[in-house]
């Protein structure tokens, strides 16, 4: 193994170990799972979406999307609409209650992070964080890593 590869692996582990507690804290005050929030967010941003597309976007099985959609429907956050032309296809639509819930869930994590950034970071550290955002966005993009 090359020194560069070993250094990258150490950085990967360190990054993951740093990110995990942040994600836990961001999600601590939320009442919906990140998967269900992902479904709500996607449908709110892109409009009526078939379950097969949601499964691909959220990176879960069609069965898991069906379960999540049923739960979100039971809570009144989405409606499941059968496709009139293809009975196998089901469309998911966000309800007004779902939009409100998405805003509440997002605000719960954002409020903590806003306070943490303001209270814990120096101006220089905030600038460093701001400069890291495009790099983190690139890591999270759907581009190939092959």
Give percent of the chain above pLDDT 90.
49
Question: Domain total for the chain?
Answer: 1
CB burial of residue 111 (10 Å; 0-12, 13-18, 19+) = exposed
Task: Kindly state whether residue 59 falls inside one of the protein's structural domains.
Answer: yes
Residue 4 is assigned to a structural domain of this protein: no
Helix intervals (H) in 47-122? 51-58, 62-74, 96-120
As a whole-number percent, the residues of the chain with pLDDT over 70 amount to: 96
What tens digit of pLDDT does each residue of 92-113 get? Answer: 999 999 999 999 998 887 888 9
CB 87 within 8 A of CB 125: no
pLDDT confidence of residue 143: 57
pLDDT at 1: 63
| Mean pLDDT confidence for 38-66 | 90
Residue 15 lies in a domain: no
């Amino acid at each position: 193994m090359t020194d560069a590869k070993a250094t990258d692996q150490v950085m990967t582990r360190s990054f993951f170990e740093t990110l995990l507690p942040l994600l836990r804290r961001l999600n601590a005050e939320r009442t919906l799972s990140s998967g269900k929030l992902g479904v709500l967010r996607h449908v709110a941003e892109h409009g009526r979406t078939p379950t097969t597309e949601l499964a691909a976007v959220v990176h879960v099985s069609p069965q898991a999307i069906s379960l999540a959609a049923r739960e979100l429907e039971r809570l009144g956050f989405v409606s499941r609409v059968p496709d009139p032309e293809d009975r196998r296809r089901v469309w998911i639509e966000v309800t007004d209650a779902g939009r409100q819930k998405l805003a509440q869930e997002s605000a719960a994590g954002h409020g903590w992070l806003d306070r943490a950034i303001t209270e814990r970071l120096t101006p220089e550290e905030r600038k460093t964080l701001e400069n890291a955002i495009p790099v983190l966005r690139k890591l999270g993009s759907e581009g190939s890593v092959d």
